Amino acid sequence: MSVFLNGDVAKAMQPTEIEVDWPGQESNMLLIELEGKEMNMGVAKFELSRDQGNKFTGTLLLPACHSEKMTWIGKVSSEQSPQGIPLLVRMER
């Protein structure tokens, strides 16, 4: 599996395009769940839709926090693979 963002880091309160290439994935939708490492901000959930072949695309919109930088930790999963694959996203203001 490969994950690509449209930049090196996500920006708080700005849409960040994300693409996941997951060969062999039968589901038409993936779920991303992210939690802030440095600050408890709840769980941010995003859906990715199958674009073509093994490619899934969507948009992350992470909430703003008091810190200049923050790490979001979570996973990419599907109904077929509920245990998911770990995912880290670095966010800056």
Q: Compute the distance between CA of residue 12 and CA of residue 83 in angstroms, rounded to an integer.
A: 27
Specify the pLDDT at position 21. 96
> Positive or negative, the Cα torsion across 65, 66, 70, 72?
negative
- Segments forming the whole domain that contains residue 57: 2-92
CATH code, domain carrying 53: 2.60.40.1930
Specify the pLDDT at position 72. 93
Q: What domain count does the chain have?
A: 1
Residues of the chain with pLDDT under 70: none
Instruction: State the pTM of this model.
Output: 0.88
Residue 67: helix, strand or coil by DSSP? coil
